[in-house]
Structure 1
Amino acid sequence: MQVTTFPSRTADLFTQGLELQPGSALLRFGAARSRPAERISWCGDGAVAWLDEPRGHLWSVGEPAAAAGLTLRAAHQLPGRIRGFTGPRGVDALLGRHLAVADPVAWAFRWTLDEPPRHPAEERVSELGEAHHGRLLAFLGAHSPSHSTGPGSSNVSLWAGIQGAGGRLVACGALSALPDSGAPLMASVATDAALRGQGLGAALTSWLTRYAVRRYGLCTLWQLADNTPADRLYTRLGYRNEDPCVAARIGTP
């Protein structure tokens, strides 16, 4: 895990052209090219990494051994400030030889630049404003307790939902943003547990994807690697699946 370039607040993440290579969409869409002055980033031979400082989370792309080397260097140079990481699949095992890596989870970072085929139930989807936040919070708590984004989150640009009889919420989802670039990220898509399998989640996901592509030119999302139904749905909607990642916490040895 040899690193050839020392870290710098102004390290240019795009000099190696990694963003053009398969498996590096997280860099292409997730890191701002404008090189924000406050961004702390690292460049190595075959990998780059950048820090989401408020969360203490390090993002990396590239060759797994090189990405692991950058993550290890960051953890040593900023002790206590790197509390977790997301990187190419295999980084967790390499880092585990040197750091206390806890709770690794395999993900796929997926993306599309194209509008999906129209779902017949998309006409039931509508935007949800601030007046719906209480209902959204209750719905997510009941049907998706581990949701990543909640109503009122500052990085959410849009909530959308499907309502049933009497205005009862039966599905919802949000467009959030990747932390460095601000690119649209679909998040917290949930369906009433009693109504799953009826296409409500597919309609909502299709609607949100179409909205993001029309407004921003792309849409991204995170998918758990072993979620087969989600994999089928996102593939049908045109999301690319070329970016296997792993996320984990860095614990105390």
Structure 2
Amino acid sequence: MRRLESGIELSATAAADHLLSSSIEPHEHTVAWASTDGSVAFGGSDEGPGLVDWLTVIGPGASELLLYALAELPSRPEGISVPRGTDLGGIRLGEYEQWDQMVRGSEVGTLALVPGEERVVAMTTSPAGDGEIIELLTRANPTHSVHPGDAGIEVWARVRDSAGVLVGCGAYCRRIGGAGWLGSVATLPSARGQSIGVAVSAWLTRRSLAARDQLCALHHWHPNHPARRIYRRLGYTTTHRMMSGKWPGEGKNASGTSGHGIG
């Protein structure tokens, strides 16, 4: 096992891993380790060099690398994300949550227009518009991954009903390294059943295709078979099956993939 010295070295070490490439910026400060079997542990913090707010470990040797990385850190991270089924070696977590990453690679090609996509348009940034999005997300998707003003968001998609009420939204975000990702896709509960989520996701994916992203990624809670069916219909495939948890007594859990939360 070895310590990696930069985000650039981390990206080069595991360039083919879709969770890694869609979670970090190559030039940002990152603390990371790699093992000879291809497993990688990584995280970072705004609090200072060498610190990790959330530790993510991927690969077949995740159990051993997790314990190694935790022993090397000067302080314990807020929580961890590891592949589901990883032996935690006696580590006890508080309530943990399970989630999947899905990815649509550039090789998948064109995307057929889906019913209702003509209702989706870009939402102009404004205090009033941002307020509408926040209100919708609070009601429809409390665990949303991004909200107005977050770094990396390129555009918000929105759908309104005949009365002008915002009933659906979602964000297209992009990493400096070339990965696009979808966040905070939500439909107002009273408007569900109209395939609004499918239409918004297709519209956002089309933005990724137009930007010629290397890949477009998203996260969804597991189990969530309806979401999986939607995204598979749009050409996404599951690449990682993960679980995340905080230490006991440290509050409600959240996905910790470098600020890259659940859609």
TM bin (shorter chain): 0.7 to 0.9
Distance apart, 1:28 and its partner CA: 4.2
For residues 135 and 37 of structure 1, what CA distance do their matches in structure 2 show?
A: 32
Q: CA separation of 1:57/1:216 partners in 2, compared to 1, >3 Å: closer, same or farther?
A: farther
For residues 117 and 25 of structure 1, what CA distance do their matches in structure 2 show?
A: 24
Establish whether residue 147 from structure 1 lines up as the match of residue 120 from structure 2: no
SS in 2 for 1:141: helix
Q: CA separation of 1:8/1:199 partners in 2, compared to 1, >3 Å: closer, same or farther?
A: closer
For residues 214 and 182 of structure 1, what CA distance do their matches in structure 2 show?
A: 13
Distance apart, 1:182 and its partner CA: 6.5
Distance apart, 1:177 and its partner CA: 4.5
More helix by share: 1
Q: CA separation of 1:236/1:252 partners in 2, compared to 1, >3 Å: closer, same or farther?
A: same
What does the per-residue CA deviation read over 1:42-89, in whole Å, with 9 as the maximum and x for residues that have no partner? Answer: 0112211111324711222210xx222222222222243422222222
Q: Which residue of 2 aligns with 1:39?
A: 30
Q: CA separation of 1:251/1:6 partners in 2, compared to 1, >3 Å: closer, same or farther?
A: farther
Q: CA separation of 1:50/1:148 partners in 2, compared to 1, >3 Å: closer, same or farther?
A: same
**Contact 1:30/1:182, CA 8 A, preserved across alignment:** no
What is the one-letter code of the residue matched to 1:76?
A: A
Unaligned runs of at least 5 residues, structure 2: 47-51, 251-263
Establish whether residue 71 from structure 1 lines up as the match of residue 62 from structure 2: no
Distance apart, 1:37 and its partner CA: 6.8
SS in 1 for 2:205: helix
Q: CA separation of 1:107/1:181 partners in 2, compared to 1, >3 Å: closer, same or farther?
A: farther
Distance apart, 1:201 and its partner CA: 1.0
Of 91, 110, 113, 2:102 maps to 110
User: TM-score, length-normalised on structure 2?
Assistant: 0.80
What is the one-letter code of the residue matched to 2:181?
A: L
Q: Which residue of 2 aligns with 1:192?
A: 188
Q: Which residue of 2 aligns with 1:223?
A: 220
Q: Which residue of 2 aligns with 1:30?
A: 23
What does the per-residue CA deviation read over 1:167-199, in whole Å, with 9 as the maximum and x for residues that have no partner? Answer: 210100112356x84722211111111121111
For residues 133 and 180 of structure 2, what CA distance do their matches in structure 1 show?
A: 20
For residues 152 and 28 of structure 2, what CA distance do their matches in structure 1 show?
A: 20
SS in 2 for 1:241: strand
What does the per-residue CA deviation read over 1:198-220, in whole Å, with 9 as the maximum and x for residues that have no partner? Answer: 11111111101111122142311
SS in 1 for 2:239: coil
Q: Which residue of 2 aligns with 1:51?
A: 43
The alignment's C-alpha RMSD in Å is 2.5
For residues 212 and 245 of structure 2, what CA distance do their matches in structure 1 show?
A: 30
What is the one-letter code of the residue matched to 1:202?
A: V
SS in 1 for 2:238: coil
What is the one-letter code of the residue matched to 2:31?
A: I
Q: CA separation of 1:127/1:116 partners in 2, compared to 1, >3 Å: closer, same or farther?
A: same
What is the one-letter code of the residue matched to 1:40?
A: V
Q: CA separation of 1:203/1:170 partners in 2, compared to 1, >3 Å: closer, same or farther?
A: same
**Contact 2:169/2:184, CA 8 A, preserved across alignment:** yes
User: TM-score, length-normalised on structure 1?
Assistant: 0.83
Establish whether residue 164 from structure 1 lines up as the match of residue 167 from structure 2: no
